[in-house]
Each structure stands twice: as structure tokens, then as C-alpha cells.
Amino acid sequence: MLELTRRMTPARNCFARIAGAYMDEEGYDHSTFNLHFGRLKPGEMKRNLEMAKSVPFAKTNEQLKEYRFPDGEERRNGMWSLLTAMKQDGMKDDSLLSIFYELMGECYHTDSGYCIFMFYGSYDVPVKGTDGAWIEGSEEVYDFLVCAVAPTDEDYEPGKPEFGFIFPAFKDRSSDSRYINIYSAAPEYPQSDVIKKILG
């Protein structure tokens, strides 16, 4: 995860796109956006990078845990297919995002308004030699989504993310779509219904 967060800075930004929805406490979106990440102003870019970074930068195996999707039809007919389509499309299709926001709104429990921010990024995974030194070039491009869900104040400014995920999981320095890394700021109070919805 530390390897990924190093690519989440203004100078080494790995994100190509950012999208999001502002939701009310009942789970209905009342405002959405979808932008090329590079078009953000420097201040906005920095704030959004910090938001995205909070998910992979969380405590592994405590706040950030790895989950496996079910096999077979259950996987293909569930959230896995939607997330895969969003990733393959580079998060450009607003209709896919709308479906995702709707599904999240049905099962995310909160007493106040919140926002769902989605990030699409790519990372050229550098090759590591047997001696531990980095070798020039890469063997794989890791395309991934980061989701960050955060409460909003009366001015719709997001606070610190309380829930999120990285899909597909970055496992053994490689992409593994059988898994997803799910973030809970307070792991003792997980969004169990959301996790069930994601895993199908």
C-alpha cells in the first residue's frame, strides 16, 4: 500500500479521473460530477489526493482488510461486474457510476449527508530484482479504482473518509481481481450491509 501512496502526490499523480456524488442521509444523490483529474486546480488536486490516499494509507489488516469475491455466477452477476466495467471504461460512463451510487445509497447507513468519491488510476509496477534493487521498466500496468465515502458539512465539504475500497486488490505487487481491499475507519463498526452488497 505504501508503494501506491507514493504515486498519490501532485508531482507523481497516478489518477486520470475523479467522479463523485453528494448523498442525503436517506441515500439519494442530489449532485454528481465526473472530471479529468488533471483539470483540477492545485488546491483541489491536493485535497482530493489526500482523500484518496487515506484508504491505502490505513492500517493494514485492521482498517484495511482483504476480501475475496465469490466464484462463478455469483461474482459475475454482482458488484464485481459493475466495478470491473467501471475500471475497464476508465470511469467515463456516467450511467455505470449512477448505478453504483444507487446501490451504495441503498445500504450505506448514516444519520447525515455524505459524499462518495471515486478515483481511477494506473500504476506502472516497477520490476524488483532478486537483490531487491529496482530495475528500469515495468512488467504490469495496474489499473484500479479507489472509493472514499466521507461525511459532509453544511457547505458540502467532505470530512475524513469513513469507508472505502481499492479494486482490484493490489496483492503481491500485482492486480488480483478476485479480491478487494475494503477500508473502515472504525473497524469495530463496519458497514456490514455495504460489504455484503460489494461481495455479492
Cell of 198: 460489494
Residue 7 phi/psi, 5-degree rounding, is -100, 15
The model's pTM is: 0.91
Sequence-separated (6 or more) residues with CB below 8 Å from residue 132? none
Cell of 64: 484495511
Per-residue pLDDT tens, the chain, 200 aa: give them: 778 888 899 989 999 999 999 999 999 999 999 999 999 999 999 999 999 999 998 898 899 999 999 887 767 778 999 999 999 999 999 999 999 999 999 999 999 999 999 999 999 887 765 555 555 556 789 999 999 999 999 999 999 999 999 999 988 888 999 999 999 999 998 899 999 999 98
Which residues pair with residue 66 across a beta bridge?
181
Residue 126: the pLDDT is 79
What angle, 0 to 180 degrees and rounded to 10, lies between the N-to-C axes of helices 94-107 and 79-88? 150
- Are the C-beta atoms of 139 and 166 separated by less than 8 Å? no
CA distances from 4 to 33, 57, 140, 171 (A): 25, 9, 14, 12
Which residues pair with residue 32 across a beta bridge?
21
DSSP string, 86-152: HHHTTT--HHHHHHHHHHHHHH---SS-EEEEEEEEEEEEEEE-TTS-EEEEEEEEEEEEEEEEEEB
Cell of 192: 456490514
Q: Are strands 15-23 and 29-36 parallel, antiparallel or unpaired?
A: antiparallel
Dist CA 23 CA 2 (whole Å): 30
CA distances from 165 to 16, 145, 155, 192 (A): 18, 8, 25, 14
Residue 31: the pLDDT is 96
